[in-house]
Structure 1
Amino acid sequence: MPESTEPSILATALHWLAPWEFEPLWGLACLAALGIYWRGVRHLRTLDPGAPPTGWPRHATLLIGLTLIYVVSQTRYDYLAQYMFFPHRAQHLVLHHAAPFLLVLATPPRVLAAGLPAWASSTHRLARPLLDLLQHPLVAPLLFVGLIAFWLTPSVHFDAMLSRRLYQLMNWSMLLDGLLFWWLVLTPHGRLGPGRRILLLLAVIAPQILIGAYLTFSPTVLFDVYEVCGRAWPLAPLVDQQIGGLITWIPATMMSVLGTLIVLRQLRRGDSQGRRHPSSPAHP
């Protein structure tokens, strides 16, 4: 009888799920986000029992987003992201685009407000000027694309991949900026109307295409740090860079297109609700 392969499969799974470089802040942040969400959902049920419940699609969306963050930051995948260019670009696609996108969709403002502790409101008031600046309609898209370009500057990228402190700063900056941008453009009834939110989503498409195309079609290897440290897989450096460029180009662009469709759906839903519940005429 052939020996069972289950132990080896389990060992392989545990190997890949174990942290490459343990950074407890990532795990604590995921747990805190999950706690705030569930606290908000429970408080809303208590405060307004007649309100429609937060359905399982939102729960699943939040869990998928947090799981993606944990996988790319605290599992063996982080090793690949440090020793191959295209896994690194996939890591930033998750941290800057996919995971924040999912977290914002899963957590409406009323759930977030109900889930935050009391001291967070005073902290928010102190940080409000900085948030207003970072989410200004002119600053937000520049920062969103500018951070991608900054960390992909060859000299900056070289230093970031060789310094644990800079590497963590790079990843955290991508996640936090992604949360700020997607919250600004995907949250209905926020500081911007649907038209301006769609303009911001469209504004970041062309620069991302240019960055991705430059990486994809460059005839030379731009990031020699992966040669210095050694690559995780025996993949040709230029092919590695081309795949990374395509990841920067196509999926990131499609996220903006998907965001635009969601804003249009929000607008259509708001119009239909307005037709079902027209304002009462003023009495003479």
Structure 2
Amino acid sequence: MPYFQVAYCGPAAVPDDLWVRWNTDPLLLAALAVLAFIVASGRSADARAGWTAIALMAVVFVSPLCALSSALFSARVTHHIILIAAVAPLLVRAFPLPRLGYPPLVPVVAAHAVIVWLWHAPGPYAWGLSTVPTYWLMQLTLLGSAWLMWRSVLAPSTPAGPALIALVATIGQMGLLGALIVFAPEPLYGVHFASTAAWGITPLVDQQLAGLLMWVLAMIPYLAAGLWITWSSLRPREPAL
């Protein structure tokens, strides 16, 4: 049975060729270069956050993780976790764009949850990997909705209480999704059926690992953000002059 080929990342990576499977898409590299120029020219609010976001996007889209995510659902989930739980808040720090205003917190948190669940349902997931446009629709909607959510959570005008509730709600919905994936009695993500054997695991084990990553690993950035928000709210503010 041939390995499934993701339209953008290419054929599923195998152990023998993983480290040579770098993505050199010129449009992607040009986009990252433009973003790097913006950060280097001092147009970002937080240059360190901007450079870290660029580095993580290179890991997600340029490094062999792209090809590995064609082979393993667990690698794809790792890709998505990095995108929505690390890249998105870093981009918020680098490019808060306060002039755009801040949408209400509840709708953006709910919309992000719907998008995360939608793209991890077996049918939409397979569709999202089937063509280049749908692949980028998946990536951009995940990142865009996460950016909006983090932007509202980290907004100076958002009180600590609602921000913490939003983070807890996001941890809860991702944990529930991860648990459903872990305890599914059979493999659901058929696009990876032919490629997991090369990595010495079954499709079900790959799926269970993916669920655990979403259930446990993904909560760490949200917990860290919650602790930072709590600490910031407890610090005494300097009196206005």
TM-score, reference length from structure 1: 0.70
Partner of 1:225: 191
Output one character per residue of 1:171-228: Cα deviation in whole Å (capped at 9) or x when no partner.
Answer: 12112222221122123x24x222221221112121111100011111111111112x
- The answer to whether the aligner puts 1:89 opposite 2:77 as a matched pair is yes
> How many residues are matched?
224
Deviation at residue 41 of structure 1 after TM alignment: 5.8
Aligned to 2:109: 141
Matched to 2:38, the amino acid is: I
Quick one: distance in 1 between partners of 2:26 and 2:183? Answer: 35
Deviations, residues 124-150 of structure 1 (Å, cap 9, x unaligned): 7xxx5xx75xx3222111122111110
How far apart are residue 94 of structure 1 and its match? 0.9
> What is the identity, as a one-letter code, of the residue corresponding to 1:248?
M
SS at the partner of 2:91? helix
- Of 244-253 and 232-241, more deviation after overlay is shown by 232-241
Flag the 1:267–1:108 CA change in 2: closer, same or farther, 3 A.
farther
Q: Distance in 2 between matches of 1:261 and 1:30?
A: 31
Greater share of residues in helix? 1
Please name the residue that 1:37 is paired with: 39
1:31 maps to a residue whose letter is A
Q: CA RMSD in A?
A: 2.7
Matched ranges for 1:179-190 at <5 A: 179-187=147-155, 189-190=156-157
Structure 2 unaligned regions, length at least 5: 1-16
Where do 1:25-174 residues align within 5 Å? 26-40=28-42, 59-105=47-93, 107=94, 109=96, 128=100, 135-174=103-142
Alignment match, 1:209: 175
Measure, in 2, the Cα distance between the counterparts of 1:152 and 1:238: 15
Quick one: higher RCO (CA 8 Å, sep 6+), 1 or 2? Answer: 2
What is the identity, as a one-letter code, of the residue corresponding to 2:58? Y
| SS at 2:105 equivalent | coil
1:273 paired to 2:241: no
How far apart are the structure 2 equivalents of 1:156 and 1:205?
22
- Larger Rg computed on CA atoms: 1
TM-score of the two chains, using structure 2 as the length reference: 0.81
Give the 3 Å change call, closer, same or farther, for CA 244–75 of structure 1 in structure 2.
same
Cα distance, 1:23–1:165 mapped onto 2, change above 3 Å: farther
8 A contact 1:137–1:200 mirrored in 2: yes
Q: Deviations over 1:77-135 (max 9, x none)?
A: 21111221000000001111111223334x275xx67xxxxxxxxxx7xxx5xx75xx3
**CA distance in structure 2 between the aligned counterparts of 1:279 and 1:230, rounded to whole angstroms:** 61
Aligned counterparts of 2:151 and 2:232: Cα–Cα separation in 1: 14
Q: Report the residue type matching 1:250 in the other structure.
A: V
Q: Report the counterpart of residue 19 of structure 1 in structure 2.
A: 23
Q: State the 1:265 CA deviation.
A: 2.4
Question: Amino acid of the residue matched to residue 226 of structure 1?
Answer: H
Q: Deviations over 1:5-64 (max 9, x none)?
A: xxxxxxx89724x316x261x33333333333333469xxxxxxxxxxx9xxx5444322
Matched residues in 2 for 1:137 and 1:101: separation? 15
* Residue 193 to residue 36, structure 1, CA distance change in 2 (3 Å): farther
